[in-house]
Amino acid sequence: MATNLYDYAYELEKALRNSSEFQNLKSMYDAVENDAVAKSMFDAFRNVQMQLQQKQMEGRDITEDEVMEAQEIANRVQGNEKVTRLMEAEQRMSMAINELNKIIMKPLDELYGSMNG
């Protein structure tokens, strides 16, 4: 790989690290990290989410009990401002990352798109 390809990636990494999206995400993370109640809620929510995703990917059925557990945790989470703000910050960061990926991957999208056509 030409050295400058990496150099451009490092520049983008720096810009991402300094972006309002990342800085905001970081403070929301810290706020949750330093609050035992919010932290345990957030971890529980993330764990249930990951378990269900895993089962879905493996084609296994999700039981009614599991849906109810996930719903119950989601409801509790919505009552905690620190956790909801963190989740909003994650959402915004994730949208920015998607935009970046779309821009960077355009050459490949074009190439593969023309192949399929």
State the first-to-last Cα distance of the chain, in angstroms, to the nearest integer: 29
* Residue 79 binds to a copy of itself (criterion: CB under 8 A): no
Position among 25, 38, 41, 83 found at the interface with a copy of itself (CB under 8 A): 25
Whichever of 33 and 81 has its CB closer to a copy of itself, that residue is 33
Position among 45, 69, 84, 100 found at the interface with a copy of itself (CB under 8 A): 100
- Count of chain residues binding a copy of itself (CB under 8 A): 40
Near a copy of itself in 36-65, by CB under 8 A: 57-60
Closest CA to 41 of 87, 80, 89: 80
Token pair 């989740």: residue: 87
CA atoms within 13 Å, Cβ hemisphere of 104: 12
> Count of residues for the chain?
117
Whichever of 17 and 76 has its CB closer to a copy of itself, that residue is 17
Q: What is the rounded distance in angstroms from the CA atom of residue 95 to the CA atom of residue 33?
A: 23
Position among 64, 65, 75, 108 found at the interface with a copy of itself (CB under 8 A): 108
Q: What is the rounded distance in angstroms from the CA atom of residue 115 to the CA atom of residue 104?
A: 19
Residue numbers at the binding site for a copy of itself (CB under 8 A): 1-2, 4-6, 8-13, 15-22, 25-26, 29, 33, 57-60, 93, 96-97, 99-100, 103-108, 111, 115
